[in-house]
Structures are given as structure tokens and as C-alpha cells.
Chain A
Amino acid sequence: MAARLLRRKALTNLSAPSSSPFSKSSFSVQRLISTLVLGEHEGGSIKAQSLSAVVAAKFLGEDNSISMLLAGSGPSVQEAAIHAASCYSSISQVIVADSDKFTYPVAEPWAKLVQLIQQKGGYSHIMATSGSFGKNILPRAAALLDVSPITDVIEISGPQLFVRPIYAGNALCTVRYTGSAPCMLTVRSTSFPVPLTSANSKSDVAPISQVDPSTFGEDMVCKSKYLSHTSQDSERPDLGNARIVVTGGRALKSAENFKMIEKLAEKLGAAVGATRAAVDAGFVPNELQVGQTGKIVAPELYLAFGVSGAIQHLAGMRDSKVIVAVNKDADAPIFQVADYGLVGDLFEVIPELLEKLPEKK
């Protein structure tokens, strides 16, 4: 949070002397800001991650009216709509597309749907959280609307002024959107954390409107078929939202040894992460990968065991509040970002930690 505030301060300084940061925008400042958020749902409720985009939307302007677009088929999408309308006070409208075309989150019909809803609603902004869902759908929809989308925004400095990391997080780029409406962006969930208390029932239920299914006509012929989905069953907290993350690298040497990391995570109530080397060596499945090409995490505590600290890995965890590194090699680059470093053999350190760490409450 502190880092974010600091960055915001830097930006204000930058744009202050000339004029307001959105003076160059082509749509006028007077116009009300209205945002369409693409929502992901599962089992009749909104996925927690999708709500980061709702949190971020509030930074666009005070009078932002936020509509959430949900698509799916049957009772589960309707339940999710009621959930969104009644639980989250910042959502002022829920739009539901209920059709068998949306049984699975496939990009083709979704992008067409976004185009259709935009043509009717004339939103100033369209947003999603940058998970695999948002990154798959939003750029396609942007192409249909002929606008440039902005990926992985970590800071909103004005309705058209955004900060995003480039070069694996080694530089921060401030971009101004100068095109016509809608301005489309995906936001990084760890930069716009959803407060735990946000899911309280509110007194006024937002209106839910159903999209007329007849509008999904002939031009919505889908050339992709959804076949299957395999998910990694995990009883541990979700890597993207965990308070503590314990990560192992190549130095663990085998899948068998990696179990030590899992044990430690269990003891701390933490999620398990891995480096690309550990994933490629087959120690763990790839959705545990943290880095530029894997998940981006920013937990309160990040413990890295046997991780050298390659640029691509640091890109995924450098915003963690406290970083602990345990490595045999005192020159490993990970020690340059670690708050606490311990030079030692992880095969001795982990068992000792397991023994001496206090039981979680």
C-alpha cells in the first residue's frame, strides 16, 4: 500500500505543472464515467478475483457507475447475478447474458457480447482483472471495438492515466489513453486487493437486467468448442490471494523433497509457489509457477527456498511486503531483494523451521 501511495505522489508531481492529466482526452471531462466490469463466476457466486476490477474502477472517478457483466447459462449465472447485486455496494447494475453460448468462458462469444453491450451502453471504461479469463477476452473485444487495451494496470492516476509494469517489472510505464471511448484495461489483482469485509449484504439491491437472447443471433457462431477442464485440487489457500507464500526452486532436487515445502506451507497456513525450474523439472504442476509468465503474487510474507532470483521470477513476487530467502549461495540475486536472508542448506533449514515455528492459530 505504501509503495502505491508513493507512486501516486510521484505521478501527481509529474502532471501538476502543465494542466490536468486528462486534458488531452478526446471525450470530455464533464461526461460521466461509467464502467463495465467483466465478471467471472463459479458455483453461483462471483469469483473473488473479479472483484479487483470493481475495486479499481472506483479509482476512475467519484461518480463512476459500475455495471457488472456476467455471462453463463442456467441457474448458476442467475444466482451469481443475485450475489453480485445484493452483496457488493459499489456495483450499481448487473447485466446478465444467459444462453448456452456462454456455458463456458470462451473468448469468441464473450468478445462479441462485450461489443454488443458497449454499443448499447456507451461505457467510458471496460475493465477486467488480469487473470487468464480477462487476458483472453478483453483484447479480443478491444479489437472488435477498434481501441488499444491496457494490460496489467497497477495504478490508476486519472480516468485516462495508468501505470503498468513493463520488462518483467523492471520498469514502470505511465500511459495516457488518448483514443475514443471505451478505454479498456485489465488490472493486476494484487495491486487492487479486495477488502475481506466487502461481501456484506447491502440494503439496496442493484437492478439486474437480462440481455435479450435473440440478440445473440447468427453472427455469434462460435468456431471453438469447449472440451474439458482439469483443475488442481488444492486445500491450501489460493496462490494469488494468500497472506503467506512458500516457494521452492530447483535446489529442492525432486518432487519428493518438494513435499518439505508443502509441509512448511501447511504449518504456516500458506500457499505453495514454485519457480519455472521446479515446474519444468516436474516437481509441481505449472499453475504454481510464480513469475513474469506465471502468477503475480504480493503476499505479506514470501519465503523463497533454493530460489536463485532470476529476473523473470522476481517479476512475480517483488511487491511482497516481506521477503525471506534461504539459499546456499551467498551471491544469489534473490538476496538483493530479500528483507531477511539466511545463507544455508535448505535441507537443514526447513526441518529446523518446521520444528521451531509456532503452531498457526
Chain B
Amino acid sequence: MKIMVAIKRVVDYAVKIRVKSDKSGVETSNVKMSMNPFCEIGLEEALRIKESGLASEVIAVSVGPSQCVDTLRTGLAMGADRAIHVEASATLYPLSVAKLLKALVDVEKPGLLILGKQAIDDDCNQTGQMVAGLLNWPQGTFASKVVLDKEKEVATVEREVDGGLETLCLDLPAVITTDLRLNQPRYATLPNIMKAKSKVIKKFTPQELNVDIKSDLEVVQVTEPPKRKAGVIVSSVDELIDQLKNEAHVI
């Protein structure tokens, strides 16, 4: 069984982002970019499944501008066997990405498609659910534990839901989206980074996959959130209680 993992290149999670002065978006040039943390977890899970002998190959996939190749190389250095880059320069929303992923699934026929639960730039939390819907595959979103049964061709997925955990059993092929607690992603070692340079990254265009990138959303403006007014530093617990009681009136 093949596992396909979708990974996204995003502004590094530790970067303090800046809104562009013309309100057209967030400054992304000359900013450190990395693999979306949830995608790292997705790739790590795929690699662990392969290492336990339940999968034959892990394919990393990324959709976006040419720099996505760097992110794919990182994925290859972590241990993915090969990669696919769908080069698209237009603004991509999850619906288009889901259609492209569906087209790639039709080409590669993986038994499992793993995505992160959300990208930390647009915070959408949609792509996995949408591609599952398009493929008519079952979905295990916000997974914190995944157990594959190769014989029965099912995946048991523990999901983080409001107020607890929920366990689902999915018939394969299926779509899984990863939550933070699924695993701790590995670091790429230097020899593996070197090896990754010789691994294959296949290229596709949306046209080749017969996917029409159109958008039914339009960004009107991006602004900074309202600033909070400056606070005060109190010197004692008594002062704090007094302020909360008599100034803020919250206790």
C-alpha cells in the first residue's frame, strides 16, 4: 500500500508576521518559510506506518509556487520515497487543492491520504475533509492515534473532539488529518539530507491534471487585529485583587 502525504510550505511558526501596509495581505517575501507543523506530523506518521511494514511507499505532495520544492526536499530528507510538485502560482484555496489532490490520488492510487488538520497560515482546517468528500472516502480528522489493520483493510483512528476523544474505524482507502499529539516528528539527518537530493520530484501542472483553478473567494483586505490597550504591572496580590474588584469589576 502506498501512502500519500500532502505538505504545505508556510511562514515558519515562530515568525512574528507583518501585515502589508496596503492591506493586501501578509508580508511573505524575505520571511523564513517551513513545512507546516501539522504536515510534518502527517509525514512522520506515514513514515512510521511504513517502518512497521504496513506500507510500501510514502509519497510527499505539495501544491504551490516553485519554492515548494524546498519543502518537498525536507520531506524527502525526513524519509519520503519520492515527491510530486503541482506547480501553481495562482492563489489557491482549499477547494482547488482538494481537487488537485483528488486528481493525484486517481493517478497514484494510494491506500491512505494523510494531511495536517490545518495550515498555520490560513487556519482553514478544510482540505482533508474536502478531498475526502470528493473521493467519497471516509475521513478521520484531528487524529491523535492511528492503528492500521492490513488484513481487514481498516484504520482505527482516535480523534480529538470537543470534550474528549472519539474512536472511529475507517474502511481503507481513507483520509486522515493529524492533530498535534499524534507523534513527535523526526529531524532530517545530514546523510539523509544528502540522499534526498537524488530522490525524484515529479512535476505536474493543474492543466495536466485537468483541474480548473477558479476561485469563489476574494480577499478584500487584511488588517492587523485591534491592539489591546497597555496594561499595568501591579506590585502585590492585594493590589491585584483590588484592581480586579474595583477597577475592572470582574470579581
Task: Tell me the A residues contacting B by CB distance below 8 Å.
Answer: 3, 6-7, 10, 14-15, 24, 49, 106-108, 111, 131-133, 135-144, 146-152, 161, 164-180, 222-232, 238, 240, 244, 268, 276, 279-280, 286-287, 292-293, 295, 300-301, 311-312, 318, 321-324, 330, 335, 337-343, 349, 352-353, 356-358
Contact = CB atoms under 8 A, between A and B. Distances in A.
B107 interface: no
A132 B95 contact: no
Contacts of B171: 223-224
Could you say which interface size class chain B belongs to?
35 or more
A136 B129 contact: yes
Contact of B164 (A151, A178, A231): A231
18 contacts: A3-B226, A15-B220, A107-B139, A136-B139, A138-B129, A140-B129, A140-B132, A143-B134, A144-B134, A146-B95, A151-B125, A171-B17, A173-B222, A175-B217, A176-B218, A287-B160, A341-B231, A353-B237
Query: Which of A140, A146, A164, A222 gathers most chain B CB within 10 Å?
Result: A140
A240 B162 contact: yes
A150 B217 contact: yes
B22 interface: no
A10 B218 CA distance: 18
B98 interface: yes
B121 interface: yes
Query: Which of B11, B130, B133, B159 gathers most chain A CB within 10 Å?
Result: B133
Query: Which of A169, A240, A323, A341 gathers most chain B CB within 10 Å?
Result: A341
Interface string B200-219: 00000000000000011111
B232 interface: yes
Contacts of A131: 162
Nearest to B99: A143
B179 A178 contact: no
Interface stretch (B49-57, B61-69, B190-198, B240-248): B240-248
Interface in B1-36: 11, 13-14, 16-17, 19, 26
B131 A143 contact: yes
A140 B17 contact: no
A174 B221 CA distance: 5
Interface in B130-163: 130-134, 137-142, 144, 156, 159-163
Contacts of A165: 123, 225
Contact of A322 (B117, B121, B167, B244): B244
Contacts of A179: 216-217
A172 B241 CA distance: 34
B212 to A, nearest CB: 11
B123 A152 contact: yes
A117 to B, nearest CB: 15
B220 A174 contact: yes
Given A152-B123, A167-B123, A287-B163, A142 B228 contact: no
Nearest to A360: B251
B142 A132 contact: yes
A282 B144 CA distance: 15
B251 A358 contact: yes
Nearest to B173: A223
Given A7-B226, A324-B244, A356-B241, A178 B218 contact: yes
B233 A343 contact: yes
B234 A342 contact: yes
Contact of B120 (A111, A168, A238, A295): A168
A138 B94 CA distance: 13
A225 B156 CA distance: 9
A175 to B, nearest CB: 5
Nearest to A40: B162
Contacts of A222: 138
Query: Which of A148, A286, A357 gathers most chain B CB within 10 Å?
Result: A148
Contacts of A318: 225, 228
A276 B11 CA distance: 20
A335 B122 CA distance: 27
Nearest to A231: B164
Interface in B166-182: 166-171, 174, 179-181
B168 A226 contact: yes
A139 B125 contact: yes
B35 to A, nearest CB: 16
Contact of A178 (B98, B124, B132, B216): B216
A301 B237 contact: no
Contacts of A287: 160, 162-164
B126 interface: yes
Contacts of B181: 279-280, 286
B231 A171 contact: no
A132 B122 CA distance: 18
Contacts of B95: 142-143, 146-148
Contacts of B237: 342, 349, 352-353, 356
A227 B168 contact: yes
Q: Which 8 A-B pairs have the closest CB atoms?
A: A179-B216, A143-B133, A231-B164, A143-B130, A139-B129, A139-B126, A224-B138, A140-B133
Nearest to A145: B133
A90 B119 CA distance: 35
Given A171-B224, A356-B238, A224 B170 contact: yes
